[in-house]
Amino acid sequence: MPNKPFPSKRAPYYNDIPDEKWTDWRWQLSHRLNTVDDFENLFPLTEGEREALSQTGLFRVDVTPYFASLIDPDNPDDPIRKQVVPTEKELIPFTGMMEDSLAEDMHSPVPGLVHRYPDRVLMLITNTCASYCRYCTRARLVGDPTQSFSSQDFEAQLDYLRRTPQVRDVLLSGGDPLTLAPKVLERVLKSLREIEHIEIIRIGSRVPVFMPQRITAELTDMLQQYHPLWINIHVNHPNEITAELAEACDKLTRAGIPLGNQSVLLAGVNDDPYLMRQLVQDLVRIRVRPYYIYQCDLVAGAGHFRTPVAKGLEIMEALRGHTSGFSVPTYVIDAPGGGGKIPVAPNYLLSMSDHRIVLRNFEGFITSYEEPLDYQRPPKALTEAYRPKKSTGQEGVFSLLEGQSMTIKPEGFDRLHLRGGEQHRLRKDKNKWKALGIGDKEEDKEEE
């Protein structure tokens, strides 16, 4: 017996649309829903939804007929509906909310390029999406025609990449790169491929979820010329996994593109451990590997979607050990103020002594692991070739382990701890705080 097939849905309102239109992404794009009347053709709106849709200055609304058809018309709490139909709750401010909560525009050497990690960059190349998610982290840029990226911006991004050899991985995002005209996207991919030090290209896209019709043979033929190319899609709820999405993912993986999934943990949408277990299991059935679950960012308009972090930990507890290891994503909090993704997980390490550690598994079984007493690092000659020749300045906590530096200090630490006192006799000799053999390297100059 084969597995239960994934459903394919079309709201009754679209029953008379000929198949060749329904399956054409251009038709889907030009018939997106964005007004009270559009939505009410499919289901009655709540007072709050009507209020939000009548506001000016709201984050852009647009939903493809395909995606809107996944909404249960009789359920005002439908999890698909919550992701794309605005409510009055978006207008409520909350403590901690920001316009650019990840400080992306601060960590950006040229417009649209965010260089936060040593070896990879995020490259924003468009600000349009196939539909708009109410909790979008980049609502400040996305959906707003006045914020669009020019070819001048693109040239500046390329120029930065050409002169920054430490970048080996470029993540194309936006907005949604797969909404670009294929010619334009191809120009981006080609230009990146001409840069020798760029090893991999990634695309973050929700197009396969919002508009799977867009994944045509023509598109995959183009994409597969630019390997190694990886794609992350964005599915939040099992109801988004349809026959159409399965087919789109099949085309992409057959073109040799490994697929991952990023979900955002959203109150009222997917904040349940059993639901999430179903989601990750359905994803691997369509050959998409769960990659990240994001804690909802502190972005204006998304307050009602936030959950406590404990909810994410509960979900991770329900996944690890309970289902296939490759179905288990990493739960991350994208650091407010910049700093990138920080993984959080339940603790499996219970205790340790000098040569024994105590662990627990998902069942609560407690075990101990006897560590070797005579462990030696491999001889340097074996690993020397892999060491970077140059510091990126971002070695961080790892540099403490490597003995490259002894401490990491908050800004102004040394000055503060002078306490305004003078340079007295007990403070004169700086060498008394230097550990023998630690931080000898040129790159580890201390803050003066």
Chain positions contacting ligand PLP, by CB under 6 A: 114, 116-117, 120, 122, 171, 341
Active site residue 116: yes
| Orientation angle between helical segments 273-285 and 309-319, nearest 10 degrees | 50
Whether 356 is catalytic is no
Catalytic residue at 445? no
Candidates 138, 206, 306, 311; catalytic one: 138
Residue 120 contact among ligand SF4, ligand PLP, none, beta carbon within 5 to 8 Å by kind: ligand PLP
Minimum distance between the CB of residue 204 and ligand SF4, rounded to whole angstroms? 7
Residue 129 or 276 having the CB closest to ligand SF4: 129
Nearest-approach distance from CB 394 to ligand PLP, in angstroms: 12
For residue 50 the two structure tokens come to: 């009507």
- E strand or H helix at 19: helix 19-22
Distance of CA 248 to CAs 189, 213, 252, Å? 21, 7, 6
**Residue 133 interface partner, choices ligand PLP, ligand SF4, none, CB cut-off 5-8 Å depending on type:** ligand SF4
Q: Does 333 bind ligand SF4 (CB under 6 A)?
A: no
Using CB under 6 A as the binding criterion, the count of chain residues that bind ligand SF4 stands at 10
- What is the spatial distance between Cα 94 and Cα 90, in angstroms, rounded to a whole number? 10
Min dist. Cβ of residue 338 to ligand PLP (A): 9
Amino acid sitting at position 192 = L
138 as an active site residue: the answer is yes
As beta bridge partners, residue 264 has 294
Which residue stretch of 131-139, 223-231, 235-243, 389-397 sits at the interface with ligand SF4 (rule: CB under 6 A)?
A: 131-139
Which of 82, 129, 271, 311 is catalytic? The answer is 129
Contacting residues for 64 by C-beta, under 8 A, at least 6 apart: 28, 29, 31, 32, 130, 131, 210, 211
Contact 254, 223 (CB under 8 A): no
Q: Does 142 bind ligand SF4 (CB under 6 A)?
A: yes
82 is known as an active-site residue: no
What is the nearest approach in angstroms of ligand SF4 to the Cβ of residue 67? 11
Q: Which range touches ligand SF4 (CB under 6 A), out of 47-55, 107-115, 129-137, 238-246?
A: 129-137
Considering beta carbons, is residue 29 or 231 the nearer one to ligand PLP?
231
- The whole-angstrom separation of Cα 352 and Cα 370 is 10
Confirm or reject binding of residue 206 to ligand SF4 (CB under 6 A): yes
Could you tell which of ligand SF4, ligand PLP, none binds residue 117, using a CB distance below 5 to 8 A set by kind?
ligand PLP
356-360: strand order across its sheet: 349-352, 356-360, 366-370
Query: Is the bond preceding residue 204 a cis peptide, omega within 30 degrees?
Result: no
- 334 in catalytic set: yes
State the Cα angle at 126 between 125 and 128, rounded to 5°.
Answer: 160
Q: CA geometry: angle at 337 spanning 80 and 82, to 5°?
A: 10
Give me the catalytic one of 13, 14, 117, 291. Answer: 117
Asked whether position 175 contacts ligand SF4 by CB under 6 A, the answer is yes
Q: Which position's Cβ is nearest ligand PLP?
A: 122
Say if residues 218 and 185 touch (Cβ distance below 8 Å). no
8 Å CB contact between 234 and 263? yes
Query: Of the residues 135, 136, 176, 251, which is catalytic?
Result: 136
Note the residues at the interface with ligand SF4 (CB under 6 A): 129, 132-133, 136, 138, 142, 174-176, 206
Show which residues are catalytic: 116-117, 120, 129, 133, 136, 138, 297, 334, 341
